[in-house]
Amino acid sequence: MEELYKEYSSLVYHYLYGLTNNIELSEELMQDTFYAAIKGIKKFKGECKISVWLCQIAKNKWKDYIKKTSKFKISSIEDNMESLYVENTIIDDINEKNERIKLYKKIHKLDDNTKEVFYLKKYKNKKLIIKSVFLFLVILILSIIIVCSIKNNNINTIFNDMKQTKQGLLELNNYSIETIEHQINFNTKQENWFKNSFYYKDKNYKIMRGMGKEYEEIKNDYLYYGSIDSNKQIQISEKNKKITNLESNYTFITKDNYINKLYTYLEFYMKDYNFILNFVLNMSFDVRKERYNGEECYVLKRESKDSYHEVWISKEKKIPVRELDEIYNVQYIEKIYNFTTNNVTDADIKTPDKEGYTVVNSSSV
């Protein structure tokens, strides 16, 4: 029992002092605690640590003292004790402090050379920890830089390929571009489909436009014929059976008009600004690979908390083939682009003869 007293007397004393804040009372209750422990040692079944068991006895002795002195209500004392002290936490804390004190006492008894070795080792360990943390942070930062650089280079490659492809498209003299647009308005519960086809050959063009509630219902209600860089255009309304010969003081269609529409969203991001600005703009995109209509595509996506925009780019053709634009819970728009070369005939762009149609000559400013 003497060994038990030597090992735990300091812990029990500090525990009681935390309750009483009184040195003499703590020493007195500590003696009572160990006396009670000697008498009840046979009741200790080892279900908890001896230190916990001793502190429980000490707490009971403290309660008994309060009852005898009747200075406070037991209920309020117990409430304060429960809210301010958790036995295991206090005990562990005291144990840790006692162990630290013992360690320092042992170190103090060492000769000067041994002390120096101990402190150098302790300093070396701290230095090693600092170095490890620093190395981890360096590796983390380098990893982020490498990942961002790879992403930036990939997007730059995609944009550069697209710019070169666009220049080639502008030199073509025979091609068609079909745009199918699907719109959903979540507020009005309305859904519409639009189709816009552009045929170009040797400076002449034809445009067909139509819409419907379903894709199968789309009809080419409006036709437009003319030459690029011209201020004249023939407009045909199939719905109204009307032909309008229109003349204006501006150019209706330029050669790059419809090709530029393919790049409307990405045009801003494809420009060469400076390294930092281009890098920041590129980092705003998420990049992934998907397949669409049998083609492997790069998908560039920009997203905010309210909306997102995706551009699907054919890996082989290096032109946009699909766009998605959604404002969450408000509107969804999908555009599909079909670009074909050397498929337009003279008959496709020839103005048809329309018997029974009303012919109108008109000019606009």
Give residue-wise pLDDT tens across range 262-295: 999 999 999 999 999 999 999 999 999 999 999 9
Instruction: Look at residue 27 in the predicted model and tell me its pLDDT.
Output: 86
Give residue-wise pLDDT tens across range 329-344: 999 999 999 999 999 9
Torsion on CA atoms 228, 232, 238, 240, rounded to nearest 10: 150
Give residue-wise pLDDT tens across range 206-218: 999 999 988 888 8
**What count of Cα atoms within 13 Å lies in the side-chain half-sphere of residue 234?**
18
Instruction: Look at residue 155 in the predicted model and tell me its pLDDT.
Output: 94
**Number of other CB atoms surrounding residue 79 within 10 Å:** 11
Mean pLDDT to the nearest integer, 26-37: 84
**Most confident by average pLDDT, 1-5, 94-98, 103-107, 237-241:** 237-241
